[in-house]
Amino acid sequence: MEDVNQLFDAAFEFAHYPGAQNEASVKEFLDRFPLPVIFNALQTDPDIPGFENTLVTCLERLFKTKYGASLIPQYMPVLQVGLKADSAIVKSLACKTVLCLLENCDTNDVSPVQLVVSNCIYPLLLDYIINSDDEVAHAASETIKSLARFPDAMSVIFPSETNDATHLRNLAARCSSLARVRVLSLIVKLFSISRLVASEIKKSGLLDLLEAEMKGTKDTLVILNVLELYYELMEVEHSSEFVPQTSLIQLLCSIISGTSTGPYEKLRAMMISGRLLSKENIYKVVEEASVKALISATDGSLESVEMNDTDAQEAAIDAIGQIGSTTKGADLVLSTSLPAARHVVASAFDRNAHGKQLAALHALANIAGETRPKSNRIVDGKAEESLRCLIYDVAAQSTKLTPSGLFLSVLQQSSEIRLAGYRTLTALVARPWCLVEILSKEEIINIVTDATTETAKIAMEARYNCCKAIHEAFLCSNFVDDPRRQKTGEKLQEAVRSGPYMSKKHRGARPEVMTGEGF
């Protein structure tokens, strides 16, 4: 008992040592308490509160070091015992130990993949994903993801024999809907690793499981989980190369426009649509008609009685803005017979709904090209005319009457609205008509050239970028030679020269706290 208490005290001190442990301290600890001693102690049940948690935390820290990880191959049988333990915390530790083995392997040692295979560890990890609690399932999933980074693990994770029990398609077929979502989550994690792994997933037909799960259930929670996985999938750089885009677009259309679909499913589907169509190369692999149908469904949701809640409207506006962030996408949201961008423009200058206005201003900035290279901000003639008309029409129907009045109104609102407004003007000013509108209101120039207007770093930089864009447009225009605009040009030039942050004349120390008066 005394030895167990000594181990517990030492393990507690090691586990809670602030900062990283160096290799020497790890070796010193293991010389005093060898791994077999710690493993044996874990199998006992001493009446010491927090004993198991302390030893597990200690082992985790040990195995994360280079020296500790180098010892793992010697204890593979013990690792197998840990993987089969009843305790969830010990199972989780075993998974993390395999992860340490994979992440700290030495090229001169035995292949870690070979160790995993020869000790039958991979089937146990798969079993954890479908039969264990969330924490253990997550640890197993992360371990398999690390395993998939090794080229010689491809045949293990993606067996050529389709009837193999470890084939992920078979695994998904024989488990509950919750466990199936975990398997699908693993597939998405693996897909994100590299093009090589994504290609294997594509060849194995595993991506089809996502769509099959969506179509095969009416469980709202399952549908939302799968939509979340699609959202993660669209974030992967190479997703457009391997994901079946046309069928996904059709699926999203049916969810967004479906009369029996719940608002949360619609909202998520619209967010995925925005992410999917915000990639320029997507237009090379899908038909334009399919994209138009998805844009139309998203646009229609803004007018649907079912979609009148603020979150859904903001999601639809954000999706249209993401679609419009690409050159082709901007053409489509602006130049259809009933342009989807009309809702964006109308909401961008509507002060009655703060969140909706904020989302719309950022969306308008994307459509106008703020996120595109400067050479690609202007889109085709029909789309450009549509953008101009939409803004002038909204102005004419407002109390401001002109776009310049709308722009000024935005810059006179809260800091986050102003930030979105700076982004919008940065993009729009590339159009000569917008430059005219901006120059017609001296108050706009005063705001964008005033280094004290903003106090947050991101807002300061947004204001400066806007000022710089206006100055660049001014230098390229006929106004540069107009004597009446000389002071405006000088003001813009000085503001650009001063940089994004407060100029020297405004940098004096400002006391925030005064010392109290003595008695």
End position of a domain, from candidates 81, 96, 116: 116
pLDDT at 470 (0 to 100): 92
Q: Is residue 222 part of a domain?
A: no
Q: What's the mean per-residue pLDDT of the chain?
A: 84
Residue with tokens 């109104």: 409
**Is 311 in the same domain as 393?**
yes
452 burial (CB, 10 Å; 0-12 / 13-18 / 19+) is exposed
pLDDT value at 84 more than 60: yes
End position of a domain, from candidates 363, 398, 433: 398
Q: Is residue 323 part of a domain?
A: yes
81 contact partners, CB below 8 Å, separation of at least 6: none
Q: What pLDDT digit, counting tens, does each position of 242-255 carry?
A: 877 778 888 888 88
Of all residues in the chain, the percent with pLDDT exceeding 70 is: 93
Mean pLDDT of 381-410: 91
Q: What pLDDT digit, counting tens, does each position of 173-222 carry?
A: 888 888 889 999 999 999 999 989 999 898 888 888 888 888 877 788 88
Mean pLDDT of 408-424: 92
Residue with tokens 């070979």: 114
Residue 430: both structure tokens together: 């590339």
**Is 249 in the same domain as 371?**
yes
**Is 468 in the same domain as 391?**
no
pLDDT at 425 (0 to 100): 94
pLDDT at 111 (0 to 100): 83
Residue 72: both structure tokens together: 């793992």
pLDDT at 74 (0 to 100): 83
Residue with tokens 């037909």: 205
Q: What pLDDT digit, counting tens, does each position of 2-61 carry?
A: 577 888 888 888 888 777 777 888 888 888 888 888 888 877 766 778 788 888 888 888
Closest CA to 334 of 407, 385, 280: 385
| Amino acid code (one letter) for 512 | E
pLDDT value at 510 more than 60: no
Q: Directed axis angle between helix 310-323 and helix 288-301, to 10°?
A: 150
**Is 249 in the same domain as 390?**
yes
**Residues 85/91, Cβ–Cβ less than 8 Å:** yes
- The total number of structural domains that make up the chain: 3
Closest CA to 318 of 281, 344, 339: 344
Rg (CA), the chain: 30
Q: Is residue 488 part of a domain?
A: yes
pLDDT at 518 (0 to 100): 46
DSSP codes joined into one string, 326-342: SHHHHHHHHHSSS-THH
pLDDT value at 417 more than 50: yes
d(CA 27, CA 32): 9
**Is 442 in the same domain as 378?**
no
pLDDT value at 517 more than 50: no
d(CA 42, CA 467): 65
Q: What pLDDT digit, counting tens, does each position of 428-453 carry?
A: 999 999 999 999 888 999 998 888 88
**Is 352 in the same domain as 254?**
yes
Residue with tokens 């990283």: 20
Q: Is residue 71 part of a domain?
A: yes
- 3-state SS class at 109: coil
d(CA 57, CA 97): 11
Closest CA to 87 of 53, 58, 49: 53
**Is 483 in the same domain as 426?**
yes
Supply angle C-alpha 152, 155, 159, rounded to 5.
170
Q: Directed axis angle between helix 2-15 and helix 51-63, to 10°?
A: 50
Q: What pLDDT digit, counting tens, does each position of 477-500 carry?
A: 888 888 888 888 888 888 888 888
d(CA 470, CA 464): 10
**Is 333 in the same domain as 414?**
no
pLDDT value at 107 more than 60: no
| Cα dist from 87 to 97, 164, 212, 239, whole Å | 15, 29, 35, 38
Q: Is residue 41 part of a domain?
A: yes
**Structural domain containing residue 422:** 406-502
pLDDT at 516 (0 to 100): 53
d(CA 260, CA 155): 42
End position of a domain, from candidates 99, 116, 133: 116
> HSE on the CB side for 118, CA within 13 Å?
9
**Is 383 in the same domain as 416?**
no
**Is 363 in the same domain as 264?**
yes
**Is 354 in the same domain as 419?**
no
**Residues 295/323, Cβ–Cβ less than 8 Å:** yes
* Torsional sign, CA 50, 51, 56, 57: positive
Phi and psi, residue 184, nearest 5°: -65, -40
Q: Is residue 224 part of a domain?
A: no
pLDDT at 367 (0 to 100): 93
How many H helices and E strands in the chain? 31, 0
Question: 275: how many CB neighbours lie within 10 A of its CB?
Answer: 20
pLDDT level of residue 419 (50, 70, 90 thresholds) = very high
Residue 323: both structure tokens together: 């679609």
The CATH number of residue 277's host domain is: 1.25.10.10
Q: Is residue 144 part of a domain?
A: no
Residue with tokens 């005064």: 514
**Is 358 in the same domain as 298?**
yes
pLDDT at 305 (0 to 100): 47
Residue 449: both structure tokens together: 């050239």
pLDDT at 108 (0 to 100): 57
First vs last C-alpha separation in the chain: 63
pTM of the model: 0.75
pLDDT value at 356 more than 80: yes
**Residues 341/324, Cβ–Cβ less than 8 Å:** yes
Q: Is residue 194 part of a domain?
A: no
